[in-house]
Structure 1
Amino acid sequence: MFVTEAQERERRKAGGPVESAMPEIPWHKAPKAEARPPLSRAAIVDAGIRILDAEGLAGVTMRRVAQELGTGPASLYAHVSNKDELCELMLERISGEIPLPDRIDPARWKEQVLEVSLAAQRVFVQHRDITLVSLGSIPMGANQLRIAEFLFGLLIGAGVPEQVAAWALDGLGQLIDTDAYESSLYADRLPPGTDTEAYFGKVQDYFAQLPPDRFPLLSSRAATMVGGDGDQRFAFKIEVFLRGLETFIGT
């Protein structure tokens, strides 16, 4: 029974037995190495995010991305204009990882705002200092705008005046971006493998040893000063923001 090359490929896909490879015939020309996968914008963004996660935003250069893809920098410009555009595309892709509730629930508007904010902060923290791209820019991509659309509708549904709700989106974005960026700075400054609990224990000890005559409150309340983990502190910032926003309802 003869088996064509195509049939053999199908057999491999189906998990069937694979026949042993044949040696090359000595006088036949050696086959060329398989061509690289065609370059695309998606592949460039993927490479940029891999570099971002490993080295931070400073490591993302057109030359470095080209190196990651095994090509030259000039070939990237057929797909992205420059590093700024690449970083915007990376932010847009990463924003797509942020989950949203299934539906808007105005009766639970504060809980849902906190839920979305925490989800966004956690996603951004996983990607080092990507929020540097977001700070100072206006969300334009579909993945970013779906979050703005959800939050805007949630705030309006809760009775927040439209203009106040629009400005609130700005404030929430800044809270999320700056908190995530600060978290990335902590991660970069602490030596790899640092026990963060032990680190902040040392900070607490330092505060406790401050001269009481100069710092009576900080020295006597050292545990209070370092209390709470990152999520608790971030949730507190959002809660303060929402309590202020709540005063605009019905005005």
Structure 2
Amino acid sequence: MNERSDSVTTAEPTSGPDGDVDVSASGRSRGRPPVPKERILATALKIVDEEGAEVLSLRVLAQRLDSSTATLYRHFSNRAELINHLIDHTLGGVPVQADELRSLGWEDACRAMATWMFENLRSHPNIAPLLLAQAPTGPNAMALREVALQVLLDAGFSPRVAIRCYATLARFVLGFAIQLNGEETEDVALAEAYRNSGEDNLPATGAVAAFVPVPLDDEFSFGLDLLLAGLAQLRSR
């Protein structure tokens, strides 16, 4: 009599190149548990704040999350897409209340929005340079744009002029925000150059030397007032 021994072969889980465990052969789910998108973006922002945007990569982010790049690819197809979402995540910190803004009058509303955006980027100065490469188009960015444009349209600006007003205000804010990283070093060098202007036969420069450097916040407020005054004249015409 021949005895037959039936054996059951169990497939061993295998690991992929990023450390994810492939256990599909055993009937279980594949890969590590998903990481919430908000947690991913919060961690990415922390990396950029502490170490700079150039350090951020999917691999570095995965290590910080104690996860894998394969897990991140469930949310982002590449680093560029991650950056797009990170920018929009940051803009989500701008405290816009549409009804409150529209009740202020267009000048005060524009001043408030510009100031909020500037303060938001001041909190995350390494984000501002990323905005040079692309116009933000995520849901938070579009919501900000929608409120600002509605304020301008309600004030009587034509659509053609309203979009130019918004773009000018946004670029003004970005231009100042980019200066935040090197503000202190640049101010020291600039003040020294103005103090030494007499030796270079620059009398006009020397005449204003006592008022340099101008704090960046003061420059921002002064420039914003000039910009809004110009828009008011444009509106009156």
Bin the TM-score by the shorter chain.
Answer: 0.7 to 0.9
Q: Could you tell which deviates more after superposition, 203-212 or 159-168?
A: 203-212
Match of 2:125 among 123, 128, 131: 128
One-letter amino acid of the counterpart of residue 207, structure 2:
S
One-letter amino acid of the counterpart of residue 159, structure 2:
E
Match of 2:163 among 137, 145, 166: 166
Q: Could you tell which deviates more after superposition, 46-55 or 135-144?
A: 135-144
The answer for the alignment partner of 2:211 in structure 1 is 224
Q: Does structure 2 conserve the Cα–Cα contact (< 8 Å) formed by 1:107 and 1:158?
A: no
Match of 2:219 among 233, 239, 245: 233
With the length of structure 2 as denominator, give the TM-score of the two structures. Answer: 0.76
Match of 1:207 among 194, 204, 208: 194
Shift of 1:84: 1.1
CA offset digits 1:83-135 (Å, max 9, x no partner) = 11111111111111111244244763212211111111111121122123323
The answer for the alignment partner of 1:115 in structure 2 is 112
One-letter amino acid of the counterpart of residue 95, structure 1:
L
Match of 2:61 among 55, 58, 65: 65
Q: Does structure 2 conserve the Cα–Cα contact (< 8 Å) formed by 1:207 and 1:219?
A: yes
**Matches for 1:1-251 after TM superposition, within 5 Å:** 38-101=34-97, 102-105=99-102, 108-186=105-183, 190=185, 200=187, 203-212=190-199, 214-227=201-214, 229-251=215-237
The answer for the alignment partner of 2:21 in structure 1 is none
Q: Does structure 1 conserve the Cα–Cα contact (< 8 Å) formed by 2:121 and 2:128?
A: yes
The answer for the alignment partner of 2:4 in structure 1 is none
SS in 1 for 2:125: coil
Specify whether residues 167 and 45 from structure 1 end up closer, same or farther in structure 2 by C-alpha distance, changes over 3 A only. same
SS in 1 for 2:144: helix
CA offset digits 1:134-158 (Å, max 9, x no partner) = 2343332221122111111111222
One-letter amino acid of the counterpart of residue 166, structure 1:
I
The runs of 4+ residues in structure 1 deviating greater than 4 Å are: 199-203
Structure 1: 5+ residue runs without aligned partners?
1-35, 191-198
Structure 2: 5+ residue runs without aligned partners?
1-31
In the alignment, the residues of structure 1 paired with residue 34 and residue 200 of structure 2 have an alpha-carbon distance, to the nearest angstrom, of 69
With the length of structure 1 as denominator, give the TM-score of the two structures. Answer: 0.72
* Higher normalized contact order (CA 8 Å, seq sep 6+, divided by chain length): 1
